[in-house]
Structure formats: structure tokens, C-alpha cells
Chain A
Amino acid sequence: MPTYHAKVIVTLKPSILDPQGRTVERALSHLDHANVSGVRVGKYIELTLTGERADVERQLAELVEQVLSNPVMENARWELEEAQ
């Protein structure tokens, strides 16, 4: 069975207030990086999966949608690479 490494990135939807991102942005501005904007703080999740690629992709899409992110307020994207 091949093994795959998945990287999942979860961010708040643009319409959702991201107070954490805004706080970081303000801090950066206080540190004289006033040209920095659009700071959003999200989550990065790594997983290892074994199985055939098509099955693993289907499983991962399901996990991302149903557990790893909350589609009400978050967007999620993922990448899958075969382990060397």
C-alpha cells in the first residue's frame, strides 16, 4: 500500500471576522511594518494516510469537510504527496 503525506490548511472565511489576524496585523504595524495588511491566522494540519491514491483522496476530502474544518465559518484546502 502506498503512503501519502497530506497537508491541510484551514482559514476563516473572508466574511468572518478574524480578531487574531487583526491583532497580529496591529502588532506588526507597531513594529514599523505599516505596509503589511490582510493578516489572517489559520491552522495547518499534517496527516499520513495509506491506501490507493483515489481512495485516500476521497477519504481526505471527507475528513477535511466533516472533521478538520467547519464549513460554516472556514475554508480548507489540501495537498497530497506520495511519501518517498
Chain B
Amino acid sequence: MKTAVIQFPGSNCDADALHAARLTLDPDAQFVWHTEAGLPQGTDLVFLPGGFSYGDHLRSGAIAARSPIMAAVKEHAERGGYVLGVCNGFQVLTEAGLLPGALSRNRDLHFRCAPVHLRVENAHTAFTAAYQPGQIIEIPIAHGEGNYYADPETVARLETEGRVVFRYLDNPNGSLNDIAGIVNERGNVLGMMPHPERAVEELLGSVDGRGLFASLKGAWPA
């Protein structure tokens, strides 16, 4: 599964993302700099990594969402290509209009960096099929602006359409309905605040993130 990890100025989980992608999906996964006009030929998965693109200036993810490569990422998503946005990548996806809602300051203003427990709410997506429905997994978070907000109609729609994919058991940031990750209507774009790429090796304390990459691999025709 050909994977492109997009690097913005200020991305700092890009190497983790590349490592996880190479380990689980594509030994040739590569970085793509944000000023590129297009994605490498045949890209299957675009990985928008965590970090602080453009120093979170204006709003988290706002400037990155308007950088040149994002036009190609949008086209890729419209064609049904997979897009995974983690942490700042999730913020970029909402700012780019690829996912609904917005991420605002954590309820208590603290930067939260800790392993958290998530419930897999929908195990029928390309990102979660390798998990059991309702499975509890441990994945680390590291963010100051992960408080998911959307208007009540949007949240109701996400809930009824099964688009809330991961939910916090112990909400660390004040997100509405304990939302930790959502997919778009078509199910090919996932945004989540926790970092599955930091939970792919025993050494890291959890391998629960592997299920997400295994799901993607399984969704991909061999």
C-alpha cells in the first residue's frame, strides 16, 4: 500500500508516521514536502502526521490546510483514496473541510500527554476492521487542542451514521460526546487525536495501534 507522509514546517511526528507506515504497510513509504504540487504516482494512503504545523499560528492546522499539497490530497480523497490524519493531521483535515467540526483548546488548558483508553465504536471501516466491535485499546495522546466541537446537527449526524470511530473512555480534553476519531461520509478519510503510530512496537508500551494499520492493509486488494 503505497504511502505518502506529508511534512509541513513544524510537523514533529513525521518520522514516527513514516516508521509505522514502513513497518506495517509499505517498506517504501516516503515523505512528501508540503510545497509539492502532487502526490507520488500511485499513492494509496496519505498520512498527515502530528506536530505543530506553522507553529499553530492563526489556528492549529489552518495554514497547513491551505498549503499547495492539500489540493492533491483533496483530489486523492475525492477519488476514494485513503487519508489518515493524526493529531495535527486531524486539525488539518477539519480546517481543509475534509472532515466536519473543529478542534479547540483542551477544556482545562493543559497539554495532555499520556496513554489513554479508547473504545472502537465502529469496526466496519477500512481503518478499524481488524479490531473487535467495542474493543478497548490503549493509544497515547499528546495535544493541547484536541477538544472536538461541531454543531449539534453535525454531531447527531456523525452519531447516527456510525462515523464516530473511536471514543475516549476518560475524556482528556472536553471533546463533545467523548469523540476521539471520526471518518468522512464515504469512510476513506479518518481523523483522530490519539497517535496509533506511537503504539506499534512492544518497546513503546502498546501495540494496539497496529490494528489500524492492519485494517488498512486488509482493506487493500493484495
A67 within 8 A of B: yes
Interface SS of B by simple majority: loop
For B147, what are the chain A residues with a Cβ–Cβ distance below 8 Å?
17
Selected from B58, B94, B149, the residue in CB contact (under 8 A) with A16 is B149
For A56, what are the chain B residues with a Cβ–Cβ distance below 8 Å?
none
> Would B105 and A19 count as touching, CB distance under 8 A?
yes
B62 within 8 A of A: yes
> Would B105 and A72 count as touching, CB distance under 8 A?
no
A68 within 8 A of B: yes
CB distance from B124 to the nearest CB of A (A): 27
Q: A17-B147, A17-B174 are in contact. Are A70 and B105 (CB under 8 A)?
A: no
> Would A73 and B109 count as touching, CB distance under 8 A?
no
> Would B62 and A72 count as touching, CB distance under 8 A?
no
Interface SS of A by simple majority: mixed
Interface size on A, residues (CB 8 A): 11
A23 within 8 A of B: yes
For B62, what are the chain A residues with a Cβ–Cβ distance below 8 Å?
67, 70
> Would A72 and B150 count as touching, CB distance under 8 A?
yes
Question: Which of chain A's residues has its CB closest to B109's CB?
Answer: A19
> B121-176: which have CB < 8 Å to A?
147, 149-151, 174
Q: Cα distance A70–B149 when bound, in Å?
A: 12
> Would A67 and B104 count as touching, CB distance under 8 A?
no
For A6, what are the chain B residues with a Cβ–Cβ distance below 8 Å?
none
Point out residues on A near B: beta carbons under 8 Å.
Answer: 12, 16-17, 19-20, 23, 67-68, 70, 72-73
Point out residues on B near A: beta carbons under 8 Å.
Answer: 58-59, 62, 66, 94-95, 100-102, 104-109, 147, 149-151, 174
19 contacts between A and B (CB under 8 A): A12-B104, A16-B149, A17-B104, A17-B107, A17-B147, A17-B174, A19-B108, A20-B105, A23-B109, A67-B58, A67-B66, A70-B59, A70-B102, A72-B100, A72-B101, A72-B102, A72-B149, A73-B104, A73-B149
